[in-house]
Amino acid sequence: MTAIVIENVWKEYGDQVVLESVNLSVETRAFVALVGPSGCGKTTFLRMLLGQEKPTRGRILLDGAALPPEPGPDRGVVYQRYSVFPHLTVLGNVMIGPELRGARLLGRRFGAARRALAEEARSMLAEVGLAGNENKYPAQLSGGMQQRLALAQALMMKPRVLLLDEPFGALDPGIRADIHKLMKRLWNEVPMTVVMVTHDLREAFTLATRIVAFERLRDRPEERLRYGATLSRDIDVWPPRIAGRTTIYDADILPGQDDLTSLGHSFGTTRQTGASEHATRFPHP
């Protein structure tokens, strides 16, 4: 089954053609990595999937229906920065989505509904390895923990599609490896299709089932204005990764074992190092 269909999409800003004749269909539960040089329209493409921008020509279908013209809860998003709300605690950040959906007048839940939601939010936080940080503010978390929080916040809405805009680009390698494991596990466990923009090919091959490259095929200075980027390569990662099943490559990551902070004990020296590094690298102010 196809989750997202992109039919002959063009995006122009005035005279500037950014993307031209993009055709793509994404299977349900796929993990697509969009790669390409800077300025090739990856982020513009993601914004169109999000509904933040409209294609100039062509159309985008989500589960067979035309994409709504503005962002909505069926498509979650995690950015590199500004993904979480600085004025809410970690717990508040995870609770706010369901609160906004459930209480259309005040955007707040009270009483039993609130306690049930808080419980759900706590287990989601434990899932992404943030247990124990419920009452901190995002500014008190390290970059990697903030991105874990952003993932938890987005996943609370159970989106059909999760859009990631270079979400791990600003993290250092150790932390990034940890969060890659988390991302893989979440994709395996949560029924969602993932589209991720990245400039890191290694990351793309680590996580994705399919890699789509954007490129300007005509890039001479006089051509830059009138010719946009388009889809130049479309690679299925081999051996194929299928959501919910491990492959030869991924066999080392068993569900629930990617994050030691949530487990409280270690499975080996390498993991131990990773976890203690995660805990001590960013001492809280």
Is 100 near other proteins (CB under 8 A)? yes
Binding residue for other proteins (CB under 8 A) from 52, 56, 246, 257? Answer: 52
Our finding on whether 101 is near other proteins (CB under 8 A) is yes
Comparison of 46 and 260: residue with beta carbon closer to other proteins: 46
Applying CB under 8 A, among 4, 17, 24, 50 the residue interacting with other proteins is 50
Between the CA atoms of 47, 50, 54 and 60, what dihedral angle is there, to the nearest 10 degrees?
120
Q: Which of residues 131-150 bind other proteins (CB under 8 A)?
A: 137-140
Closest approach of other proteins to the CB of residue 261, in Å: 20
C-beta of 183 vs 237, nearer to other proteins = 183
One residue of 14, 64, 86, 221 binding other proteins per CB under 8 A? 86
- Mark the segment that binds other proteins (CB under 8 A) among 35-43, 74-82, 178-186, 246-254: 74-82
Burial of 126 (0-12, 13-18, 19+ CB in 10 A): middle
For other proteins, how many residues bind (rule: CB under 8 A)?
Answer: 35
- Return the beta strands (E) in 36-179 as ranges: 57-62, 65-66, 75-78, 161-165
Residues sharing a CB contact under 8 Å with residue 252, sequence separation 6 or more, in sequence order: none
Instruction: Determine which residue in the list 1, 106, 112, 248 makes contact with other proteins, applying CB under 8 A.
Output: 106
Q: Using alpha carbons, select from 98, 100, 106, 94 the residue that is nearest to residue 138.
A: 94
Query: Would you say 36 and 229 are in contact if contact means Cβ atoms under 8 Å apart?
Result: yes
Is residue 43 close enough to count as binding other proteins by CB under 8 A?
no
Q: Is 4 in the site for other proteins (CB under 8 A)?
A: no
Residue tagged 């962002």 (tokens): 71
Q: Which phi and psi angles does 110 have, rounded to 5°? A: -130, 160
Q: What angle do CA 31, 35, 40 make, to 5 degrees?
A: 135
Which residue lies nearer to other proteins by CB, 28 or 52? 52
The yes or no reply on residue 283 touching other proteins (CB under 8 A) is: no
> Tokens 């909505």, residue?
72
| DSSP type of residue 219 | -
> Could you tell me the smallest distance in angstroms from the CB atom of residue 104 to other proteins?
7
Residues 61 and 5: beta-carbon distance below 8 Å: yes
Per CB under 8 A, 167 contacts other proteins = no
* Residues of the shown chain interacting with other proteins in the complex, contacts defined by CB under 8 A: 50, 52, 70-73, 75-77, 79, 81-87, 96-97, 99-101, 104, 106-108, 137-140, 153-154, 157, 159, 285
